[in-house]
Amino acid sequence: MGKKTALYASHLAANAKIVDFAGWEMPLHYGSQVQEHHQVRQDAGVFDVSHMTIVDMTGQTVPAFLRQVLANNIDVLTPGKALYTCMLNEQGGVIDDLIVYKMDDNFYRLVVNSATRDKDLAWLNAHAKEDSLKLAERTDLAMLAIQGPKVRHKLATLFDPTPLQAILDLKSFHAVTLGSLFIARTGYTGEDGFEIILPIAEAPALWEKLVAANIQPCGLGARDTLRLEAGLNLYGADMDEAVTPLESNLGWTVAWEPKERAFIGREALEKQQQAGLKRRLVGLVLLEQGVLRNHQKVIIEGMSAGEITSGSFSPTLNKGIALARVPVTIGAQCLVEIRGKQYPAQVIKPPFVRQGKNNTVAIA
Amino acid sequence: MNSVPKKLQYSKTHEWVRKDDDILTVGITDHAQTMLGDLVYVELPEPESSLESGQECAVVESVKAAADIYSPVSGEVIEINEALFETPQLINDDPYGKGWLFRVRPYENDSPHLLNSEQYSKQVASEAH
């Protein structure tokens, strides 16, 4: 039996189809993952993402430590602000992608993937040599993501005017602490919304309140198609330790300035840039009806030249879509091999969908 | 529980078969569509094409996975359910009715080896363990 979140009973009561996800028993869907996808694009949905690993780091040396282990630079953060970043190995390979929140000058919160929990904690601990640095995994906390264009409106019935205003005033990648709730304007769907971190004991009651406010439970199936349409990478599929952020459409998350900040992986990334990037991550839209799948071959000029890293079906576009790692020289079209046959696909710069609308623009 | 109508016959690979005179209609079972989830794409055999028993002759794809469909019999395809190209979801909504896949006229002397509803239900139950 896998690990269960505080909301497991709520999922069963809502007829969830439960699947194993990185050792957790998580809801795949509650009936129809396509319906849940549309619900988030058009209205509002709530996801249990309590399987994510929350790590609180405290101590005077935390900022210096994070400047070293993260490829993005925490010095741009003020208290209550968040940053998306990769954590790299010496070769520039991606150990994980994560969100780091600055809680206070010497207090940062990291939210990392559950599938990489063990190696992330091992890496952090191995590099956290200073005694003054405290690292605590917060298994006492649950996490809910409420996502969709109508979320803001629906929160009005759930909070008193003062805290409600504090939530609605949050800018993207900003967070606020309201009593026992830590609420951030972040997400993994490409829609507006919030992620709420709270004590496990309070999670079922909040879940019930959100559902009662017509924020519909949505499973990990919809979460995956939503993030793919939004062009957001999935760790372990679209990037891993064998590739760098530069090869993963994540060059924007690498902070090169100041030059003297010697973060782990920097040298390798600089060498890769000087040598010239050979591969990059692009979006593919299948031009005929069908579904793209992980590991299908991308064919350019008759040669197998790349591979789909995340393929699926876009409920919004009603087309097969994918992220694929391909030569940087790829043109506006390529072929994808599906069951031994080749089908044309358009090459685009992700995202596929922006604010609920088709955003597929061909790469020149 | 998924439905397993008594009047139909079943293959081990989760197709159902209905016999009307000498014509067989083929689809996928309620259990199969539940396991796959929302269907979003189908490939069906060419009308008038010839199928071998056990041949991969169609594909149904959900958001999550692709599944091959095997012909339960050797015969000629006489009709395909073209409505599925536009609305694959019919398979989820009505697997034994509007979600049928294709109709085949078996060649003489070929009678398929199929399970009755009770045998199929037992197989599904055993797969769950």
Three-class DSSP category at B61: strand
Chain B residues in contact with A28 by the CB 8 A cut-off are: 37, 64
Candidates B41, B63, B64; nearest CB to A289: B41
What is the predicted pLDDT for the residue at B94?
97
Neighbours of B120 (CB within 10 A): 21
Query: pLDDT tens for residues A161-189?
Result: 999 999 999 999 999 999 999 999 999 99
Residue B3 lies in a domain: no
Chain A residues in contact with B61 by the CB 8 A cut-off are: 290-291, 313
pLDDT confidence tier of residue A274, bands split at 50, 70 and 90: very high
Distance from CA of B109 to the nearest CA of A (A): 32
Chain B residues in contact with A315 by the CB 8 A cut-off are: 40, 63
Query: pLDDT tens for residues A297-307?
Result: 999 988 889 99
Residue B2 lies in a domain: no
What tokens does B98 get?
């509007």
What is the predicted pLDDT for the residue at A130?
80
Under an 8 A CB cutoff, do A290 and B64 touch? no
Pairwise CA distance, residues A325 & A320, whole Å: 16
Pairwise CA distance, residues A44 & A336, whole Å: 34
Stretch A257-276: mean pLDDT, rounded? Answer: 97
In chain A, the percentage of residues whose pLDDT exceeds 70 is 99
Residue B1 lies in a domain: no
Stretch B30-50: mean pLDDT, rounded? Answer: 96
8 Å CB contact between A87 and A70? yes
Alpha helices (runs of H) in chain A, residue ranges in sequence order: 8-13, 33-42, 62-69, 117-127, 151-155, 161-168, 203-212, 220-229, 266-275
Three-class DSSP category at A29: strand
State the amino acid at position A34 in one-letter form: V
Q: How many independent structural domains does chain B possess?
A: 1
Q: Give the A:B interface size as CB pairs under 8 Å.
A: 39
Strand duo A45-48 + A216-217: pairing: parallel
Collect all residues with Cβ–Cβ distance below 8 Å to B72 and sequence separation of at least 6. B11, B15, B17, B24, B26, B53, B112, B114
Kindly report the CATH number assigned to the domain that includes residue B75. Answer: 2.40.50.100
Under an 8 A CB cutoff, do B63 and A290 touch? no
Pairwise CA distance, residues A213 & A155, whole Å: 8
Candidates A17, A290, A312; nearest CB to B63: A312
Asked if A293 reaches chain B (Cβ–Cβ under 8 Å), the answer is yes
pLDDT confidence tier of residue A356, bands split at 50, 70 and 90: confident
- Work out the mean pLDDT of chain A and round it to a whole number: 96
Asked if A34 reaches chain B (Cβ–Cβ under 8 Å), the answer is yes
Neighbours of B21 (CB within 10 A): 6
Given a cut of 70, whether residue A30 has pLDDT beyond it is: yes
DSSP calls for B17-33: EEEETTEEEEEE-HHHH
Query: pLDDT tens for residues B54-104?
Result: 999 999 999 989 999 999 999 999 999 999 999 999 999 999 999 999 999
Candidates A32, A225, A291; nearest CB to B66: A291
Given a cut of 80, whether residue B1 has pLDDT beyond it is: no
Exposed (0-12), middle (13-18) or buried (19+): which is B127, by Cβ within 10 Å? exposed
8 Å CB contact between A173 and A81? yes
Residue B4 lies in a domain: no
Residue B99 lies in a domain: yes
Candidates B63, B85, B89; nearest CB to A313: B63
Exposed (0-12), middle (13-18) or buried (19+): which is A303, by Cβ within 10 Å? exposed
pLDDT confidence tier of residue A145, bands split at 50, 70 and 90: very high
Residue B71 lies in a domain: yes
Best residue of A291, A312, A319, A341 to probe chain B, by most B CBs closer than 10 Å: A291
- Work out the mean pLDDT of chain B and round it to a whole number: 93
Query: pLDDT tens for residues A201-226?
Result: 999 999 999 999 999 999 999 999 99
Candidates A29, A225, A291; nearest CB to B61: A291
Residue B78 lies in a domain: yes
**Which chain A residue's Cα is nearest to B35?**
A17
Neighbours of B1 (CB within 10 A): 9
Pairwise CA distance, residues A30 & A47, whole Å: 11
Chain A residues in contact with B89 by the CB 8 A cut-off are: 34
Radius of gyration (C-alpha) of chain B in whole angstroms? 14
pLDDT confidence tier of residue B129, bands split at 50, 70 and 90: low
Given a cut of 60, whether residue B41 has pLDDT beyond it is: yes
Chain B residues in contact with A35 by the CB 8 A cut-off are: 38
Stretch B30-40: mean pLDDT, rounded? Answer: 95
Given a cut of 80, whether residue A253 has pLDDT beyond it is: yes
What is the predicted pLDDT for the residue at A362?
67
Candidates B41, B59, B89; nearest CB to A313: B41
Stretch A315-340: mean pLDDT, rounded? Answer: 96
Given a cut of 60, whether residue A364 has pLDDT beyond it is: no
Report, in this order, helix, strand and coil percent for chain A, each rounded to 5: 25, 35, 40
Beta bridge partners of A333: A346
Nearest to A45 by CA among A59, A21, A29: A29
Chain A residues in contact with B59 by the CB 8 A cut-off are: 339
Provide the domain limits for residue B90: 9-127
Given a cut of 80, whether residue B108 has pLDDT beyond it is: no
Collect all residues with Cβ–Cβ distance below 8 Å to B108 and sequence separation of at least 6. none
**Which backbone phi and psi does A258 adopt, to 5 degrees?**
-70, 150
- Cis peptide upstream of residue A351 (ω within 30 degrees of 0): yes
